[in-house]
């Protein structure tokens, strides 16, 4: 069997997936343009190519050099707020990049792709928990481009000998238990690392946006999934395709939501720091509750999340951030 090509394999979820793939004995090739990824995050035993998936000649050269069996696709811009003020950047990288990738894959006869999608494809949920059959009406440009990428896979698979799995999920969090890789975004927008910036001396307090939602303590409820569990789901999805099974879409989630205040209290417990919080008005576009049902992934892929305890998730994140306060930057 050939190698697994991981696009965006120097990014947060990509690097954890690469690490788990290599540790499982797979041959792994990584492509990343290092726009938001870090060379230091890539497992030393993975073969690394720096380049952009919008460059057809570059992609063709990698497909010619390497014997690729399947592709796991993380390469995308992924900030909701930025997507609303720079939509064309998101269409260019996410959509044009994927179109170039698929052209190259079809040309080289590569037939399997696992796609890192998002639960932002659903928009405002009609029901909780969200199921794969629910309507998809994205409320931001990022979610719209990811949904468009899914449709591109669907119609390309319909026309060519290609099969895909799309994985939709919410809040990736935590860090590898080995402490060698973790989350490093600039700017940081995710709740857990933002909270942990307070005990790390990077900010004075954490803002809580809205305390009057229809939830148990008035703050937003979100579905947090440990990054290693996400990595395992991508690996299981590739195995599913390698077994010759049909294209499919799966949600990934804990199925249990935690409020912002619950996450904050857990972080206080884990770090032993008071972590002051400041209550601020709601942010526009923040739904009160987002929880995904992952029954289908558990049943069909055999996915079993191991890190479904919030304290464990926050502990792995704190272990990383405490020892790497500047991320991969050694300064």
Tens of pLDDT along 6-23? 999 999 999 999 999 999
> What percentage of the chain reaches a pLDDT higher than 90?
88
Assign domain 3-173+224-252 one CATH number from 3.10.105.10, 3.90.480.20, 3.40.50.620, 3.40.50.720.
3.40.50.720
With 70 as the cut, is the pLDDT of residue 140 above it? yes
Average pLDDT of span 253-269: 94
Please, is 222 exposed, middle or buried when counting C-beta atoms within 10 Å of its C-beta (0-12, 13-18, 19+)?
Answer: buried
Confidence of residue 287 (pLDDT cuts 50, 70, 90): confident
Confidence of residue 330 (pLDDT cuts 50, 70, 90): low
Confidence of residue 200 (pLDDT cuts 50, 70, 90): very high
**The whole model's pTM is what?**
0.95
Confidence of residue 36 (pLDDT cuts 50, 70, 90): very high
- Residue 249: strand pairing partners: 166
Domain boundaries, the chain: 3-173+224-252, 191-222+255-323
With 50 as the cut, is the pLDDT of residue 203 above it? yes
* Per-residue pLDDT, 331: 38
* Per-residue pLDDT, 252: 97
User: For the segment 84-137, what is each residue's pLDDT rounded down to a tens digit?
Assistant: 999 999 999 999 999 999 999 999 999 999 999 999 999 988 899 999 999 999
Give the residue numbers annotated as catalytic, written as ranges: 142
User: For the segment 209-218, what is each residue's pLDDT rounded down to a tens digit?
Assistant: 999 999 999 9
With 50 as the cut, is the pLDDT of residue 279 above it? yes
With 90 as the cut, is the pLDDT of residue 187 above it? no
- Residue 112: strand pairing partners: 163
Please, is 174 exposed, middle or buried when counting C-beta atoms within 10 Å of its C-beta (0-12, 13-18, 19+)?
Answer: buried
> What percentage of the chain reaches a pLDDT higher than 70?
99
Average pLDDT of span 170-179: 94
Average pLDDT of every residue of the chain: 94
User: For the segment 205-247, what is each residue's pLDDT rounded down to a tens digit?
Assistant: 999 999 999 999 999 999 999 999 999 999 999 999 999 999 9
Domain covering 191-222+255-323 assigned CATH 3.40.50.10790 in the classification: no
Average pLDDT of span 138-166: 96
Average pLDDT of span 49-62: 98
């Amino acid at each position: 069997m050939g190698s697994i090509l991981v696009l965006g394999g120097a990014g947060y979820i990509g690097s954890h997936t690469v690490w788990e793939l290599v540790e499982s004995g797979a041959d792994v090739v990584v492509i990343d343009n290092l726009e938001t990824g870090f060379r230091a995050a890539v497992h030393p035993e993975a073969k690394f190519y720096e380049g952009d998936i919008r460059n057809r000649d570059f992609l063709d050269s990698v497909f010619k050099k390497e014997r690729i069996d399947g592709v796991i696709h993380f390469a995308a811009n992924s900030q909701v707020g930025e997507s609303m003020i720079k939509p064309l950047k998101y269409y260019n990288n996410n959509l044009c990049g994927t179109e170039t990738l698929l052209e190259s894959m079809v040309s080289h006869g590569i037939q399997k792709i696992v796609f890192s999608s998002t639960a932002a494809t659903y928009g405002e949920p009609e029901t909780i928990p969200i199921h794969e059959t629910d309507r998809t009406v994205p409320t931001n440009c990022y979610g719209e481009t990811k949904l468009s990428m899914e449709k591109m896979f669907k119609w390309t698979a319909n026309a060519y000998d290609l099969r895909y799995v799309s994985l939709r999920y919410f809040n990736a969090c935590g860090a590898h238990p080995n402490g060698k890789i973790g989350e490093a975004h600039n700017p940081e927008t995710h709740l857990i690392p933002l909270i942990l910036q307070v005990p790390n001396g990077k900010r004075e307090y954490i803002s809580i946006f809205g305390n009057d939602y229809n939830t148990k303590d008035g703050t937003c409820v979100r579905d947090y999934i440990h990054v290693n569990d996400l990595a395992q789901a991508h690996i299981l999805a590739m195995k599913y395709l390698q077994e010759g099974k049909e294209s499919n879409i799966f949600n990934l989630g804990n199925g249990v939501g935690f409020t912002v205040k619950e996450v904050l209290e857990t972080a206080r417990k884990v770090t032993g720091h008071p972590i002051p919080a400041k209550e601020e008005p709601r942010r526009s576009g923040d739904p009160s509750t987002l929880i995904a049902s992952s029954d289908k992934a558990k049943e069909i892929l055999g996915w079993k999340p191991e890190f479904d305890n919030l304290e464990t998730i926050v502990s792995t994140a704190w272990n990383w951030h405490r020892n790497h306060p500047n991320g991969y930057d050694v300064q």
